[in-house]
Amino acid sequence: MPASVDVPTQPDRSRPGAPEPSRAPARAGIGTRLVSLVGELLILAGALLGLYVVWELFYTDVIAGKEQDQVLESLDWAYDATAPITADAAQDTGPATIPTEARMSPDTAPVMDEPAFLTTFATLYVPRWGTDYVKPVSEGVDRQQVLDVLGIGHYPGTGMPGALGNFAISAHRTTYAKPFNRIAELQQGDALVVQTKDAWYVYRVTDHLIVDPHQVEVIAPQPGEIGAEPTGHYITLTSCHPMFSAAQRYIVHGELEYWAPTGDGVPPEILEEIPQP
């Protein structure tokens, strides 16, 4: 019987009308047939697991990537970092940058109201991950509706960009277009730039840590101290750790350096070329 066992993708090797191979006796014993059935089930199980891996590692990236690109395009106020800088002879310097005197102190930062669930209200730029890195930030950290689809999610109830407190966001580190794939490359002092409809917020990475999933103090208004009054304008990125695992969380904290209204160009930080690995 094993001679007739075949994977579904190569069906042409079996003989129609001749289910029992000629080598086997006309009626195979029950033991032989049982073994062959188990073998076939194992082949199917293997194919199923293989397909799952293909789906998780490749297909989710394709689908979520498309969705996130569409969301970005629908934000008419967002600066499109992926647009190629046109080689216009008159302006080959790229987009205008915010002058130093236009940088405003964190204390005066405008804070938008928390939007409705699923609303995309900001974009994130991380020069450490490339000058073309831009991802939408949406409300909520529900996996099926936000993180698996829209990309970066904002923890409901935590601060909004620029707020005195903690602007806490979460995203996949692997699969689903992996917005935070290179979170472990962030170094102290790296810029994390958030744009909303009305303002740019330039944060600087202060530290990173690896915690267990129950350690929610990392997204407290004063990071690390639940119940404490916030003394700064923070940003917190959370993602899974180690990669491809749900065992722990990789956390990056940052603090607001300055903000600026939109319309006067882009923060020079997001144009800064950092050598990519």
Partner 1 sequence: MIFPFVWRLMPGPVWLRVLLLLMLIAAIVAVLFQWVFPWVTTTFNIQDQSVEAVP
Q: Footprint of partner 1 on this chain (CB under 8 A)?
A: 1, 4-9, 11-12, 14, 16-17, 19, 33, 36-37, 40-41, 44, 48, 51-52, 55-56, 59, 141, 143-144, 147-148, 153, 155-158, 170-175, 180, 211, 213-220, 226-227, 238-240, 244-246, 249
Those residues whose C-beta lies under 8 Å from the C-beta of residue 39, and which sit 6 or more positions away, are 2, 5
Instruction: Choose between 96 and 216: whose C-beta lies nearer to partner 1.
Output: 216
Closest of 224, 103, 120, 109 to residue 164, by C-alpha: 109
Q: How many helices (H) and strands (E) does the chain have?
A: 2, 8
| Alpha helices by DSSP H, 55-165 | 60-74
Q: 3-state class of 215 per DSSP? A: coil
Instruction: Choose between 157 and 275: whose C-beta lies nearer to partner 1.
Output: 157
Report in angstroms how near the CB of residue 202 gets to partner 1 at its nearest.
24
Beta bridge partner(s), residue 200: 195, 260
Helix (H) or strand (E) holding 123: strand 120-125
Report in angstroms how near the CB of residue 174 gets to partner 1 at its nearest.
7
Report in angstroms how near the CB of residue 212 gets to partner 1 at its nearest.
9
Structure tokens at 252: 């990056």
Instruction: Choose between 251 and 260: whose C-beta lies nearer to partner 1.
Output: 251
Instruction: Choose between 128 and 154: whose C-beta lies nearer to partner 1.
Output: 154
Report in angstroms how near the CB of residue 11 gets to partner 1 at its nearest.
5
